[in-house]
Amino acid sequence: MRRIIVGTGTCGVAAGADKVLDALGKAVVERDAADKVELGETGCIGMCFREPLVEVREPDGASVIYGDIDPEKAIRILDEHGIAGKPIEEWIVKGDAFECADDELFENQYRVVLRNCGIIDPDSIDEYIEKGGYVALKKVITESTPEEVIAEITKSGLRGRGGAGFPTGLKWKLARGNEADKKYVVCNADEGDPGAFMDRSTLEGDPHAILEGMAICAYAIGVDEGYIYCRAEYPKAVKRLIRSIGIAEERGFLGKNIMGTDFSLELHVKEGAGAFVCGEETALLRSIEGKRGMPRIRPPYPAEKGLWGKPTNINNVETYANVPWIIREGGEKFAAMGTEKSKGSKVFALAGKIVRGGLVEVPMGITINDVIQKVGGGIPGGKQPKAVQMGGPSGGCIPVELWNTPIDYDSINSTGAIMGSGGMVVMDETTCMVDVARFFLEFTQRESCGKCTFCRVGTMRMLELLERICAGEGVEGDIEKLEDLSRKVIETSLCGLGQTAPNPVLTTIEYFRDEYEAHIKEKRCPAGVCKALIRYEIIADKCIGCTLCAKKCPTDAISGERKEVHVIDQDKCTKCGVCFNVCPVDAIKVE
C-alpha cells in the first residue's frame, strides 16, 4: 500500500499543510480508497521554502516529495499517483529517481541530528525504533559503565550546540564527579533567537531522539529525574514531547526500572514564558524553580550547584539529539567529521534573503559561502550578497568578504560573531546595516532582565544612539560613543545576554563603518531603508503614466494624468514604498 505523507511541522502548517491533510482525508473517504493509500504525517525535512510538502512513499520504500502543494493539487496527487501510480513529474521537488532543481540542498549535507526529521512519524515510537531508536540507550545501560559512556562522548569531540561550545564529555564528567543525594538533567529548549528554528523542528520531527539522549546522559551522570525547558511559543513541540514521554514510559524506555534494569528516569516538560534571558542556564534553572528568570553569579556552576541546589547537567536540544547516534555509531566516526577543534555536524536555520530558506545540517569546516551559495541556493532576485548574521542577537554580522571563513567555533569567533545555536540570517544589498544593528539591539535591550546596570541602562543608551542615527539626527562622535558603551556593557554584565548584546553593533561598525558615516555625515542611507534619510522620485524617462502608483498611494501623494509623467508630493509622501513595489516599469527610484 502506498503512503501519502504530509509535512505538518510548524513551517508546513503556516503554509497550509493542515488544509492539505484535511482535503486528502476527505478525498480518501469519498473515493473509498483506504485500502489503496494510507495517510500519514511527518515533521520538517528542511525544505521550508517549498512548503506545504506531500510525499508519496511506495511499498518498496521508493519516494518522491511534491512541493508548493495546495488542497487541489493534493487531490490530484492522490488520484494520479496515490491510486493510479503515475507520478506528476512537474511538481516533484525531491525524488529517488528524479533530477530536481533543489537536489543541491541535500548533496552537501550530512544529517545526524536531522536523520529522522521529515522521514518518520514523530508520534510513532515504532517508526523511531525501526530507525535504530533506543538501541543506544539499551547498549549503555546493559553493556557500559557510566564512565565508559562519558569516555565515548569525550572521544567524539562533541561540543555543546547551544552557543558556548563547551566540551560535552567534560561537562558530563564534572556533573558525575559531584556527589549528592539528588542530581538533575535538563534540556534547554528555550530557543529565542530571531530567525532560529533548529530546536523547534527537531523537537517536532524527532522527539524521541532528545528523550533517548537525555536518558543516556542521566545514566552517565547518575540522575533519576530531569526537565525539558521548552518555550510555550512552541505548542506543537510541547504537545509532542508530553505525548512522547508518556509513550516511552509505557514501552519501558523511561520511568521506573528502564528495560528491566535498576536505572530509572522521570522526565518533565516545563513551559517557558518567552523570556530570552531564560536561555542562559542559571536563569533557566531559576525559572524551573518557579522564580523570576534572572542569572546568578558563577561559580558555582550548575554541575556543582544547579536545580534546587543540586548538581545539574544542562545541554540543548541539538546536543542531546547527537548522543544516540554517537553511542550507536561510535565516537570515532563522529570525530572524523569536522575540524580539529570542532567535530561533527551543525544544524543551521537559513533565513532572510536566500533562495532555499529552511533547515540544513552540514559538516563542521564547510565555509559560510558554501552553505549560503550551494546549500541555500544563493541570493534571490539577482541581488548582491552583503552579510550574514550568525549567532542571533548575541552574534555578529559577517561581511561577504569573509564568507570563505570555515564554520567552526574558533574561526567564527575570530570574525567577531559567534556560532550560537545555529541561526543564519542572510542579507543582501538592500539591507541597511545600521538598521540591522538597531533591530537586534532593540531585541536584547527589551529582553534584558535588568539585573545589571550597564545591561539595563547601557543598552538603552546605545539603542537611543542608533535610533537617532537612523532618523538622520546622528552627530560626530556617535560611533565612538557606541564603541565605548559596547565595551563597558561587555565588561560589566553578569551573563551572556549582556556580554554579547553589543556584538551586532561592534561588527557592523567594524565592517560597515562607511554606512554609519553616510548616515551621520551625509544624512543618507546607502541601502535606501531608513525613512528619514530617503525620498522616492519618479524617473521621467521611464514613467509611462499608467496611474497604478497614484491609485495605490495611501496618502494621495502622487499626481498626474494618464499616459503622462507623474509627480510625487514630498510633503505628503510617507515613504511607505508602495509605489516602488507596484511600478511595472521600474520608474520609481529611491534616493
pLDDT, tens digit, 9 for 90 and up, residues 498-507: 999 999 999 9
String of DSSP letters for 126-163: HHHHHTTTTHHHHHHHHH--HHHHHHHHHHHT-B-TTT
CATH number of 535-590: 3.30.70.20
393, pLDDT greater than 90: no
Q: What pLDDT score was predicted for residue 194?
A: 83
CATH class as words, domain 345-428: alpha beta
pTM for the structure as a whole: 0.93
Element (H, E) at 314: strand 312-316
The C-alpha angle with vertex 321 and arms to 41 and 107, in degrees rounded to 5, equals: 70
483: confidence class by pLDDT, cuts 50, 70, 90: very high
> Do 479 and 513 touch, CB atoms closer than 8 A?
yes
Map grid coordinates 501623494 to a residue: 557
125, pLDDT greater than 80: yes
The answer to whether domain 2-102 has CATH 3.40.30.10 is: yes
The tens digit of pLDDT for each residue in 182-203 reads 999 999 999 888 888 999 999 9
464: confidence class by pLDDT, cuts 50, 70, 90: very high
Q: What pLDDT score was predicted for residue 274?
A: 82
Element (H, E) at 460: helix 459-470
546, pLDDT greater than 80: yes
526, pLDDT greater than 80: yes
Domain segments of the chain: what residues? Answer: 2-102, 125-334, 345-428, 433-521, 535-590
CATH number of 125-334: 3.40.50.11540
Domain covering 433-521: architecture = Up-down Bundle (1.20)
**What do you get for the CA distance between the two ends of the chain, in Å?**
61
CA torsion through residues 484, 485, 491, 492, sign: positive
Give the strands of the sheet with 2-7, arranged side by side. 37-42, 2-7, 54-57, 63-66, 92-95
394: confidence class by pLDDT, cuts 50, 70, 90: confident
579: confidence class by pLDDT, cuts 50, 70, 90: very high
Give the strands of the sheet with 312-316, arranged side by side. 266-272, 225-231, 184-189, 312-316
The tens digit of pLDDT for each residue in 201-216 reads 999 999 999 999 999 9
Q: What percent of the chain has pLDDT over 90?
A: 92
String of DSSP letters for 386-439: EEEEESGGGSEEEEGGGTTSBSSHHHHHHTT---TTSEEEEEETT--HHHHHHH
Task: Determine the average pLDDT of the residues in 135-140.
Answer: 98
Q: What percent of the chain has pLDDT over 70?
A: 100
Amino acid at residue number 189: A
Cell (9 digits) for 502: 553589543
CA distances from 482 to 454, 461, 476 (A): 13, 9, 12
549, pLDDT greater than 90: yes
String of DSSP letters for 203-246: HHH-HHHHHHHHHHHHHHHT-SEEEEEEETT-HHHHHHHHHHHH
164, pLDDT greater than 90: no
163, pLDDT greater than 80: no
Q: What are phi and psi of 463, to 5 degrees?
A: -65, -40
The tens digit of pLDDT for each residue in 295-350 reads 998 899 999 999 999 999 999 999 999 999 999 999 999 999 999 999 999 999 99
SS3 of 265, please?
strand
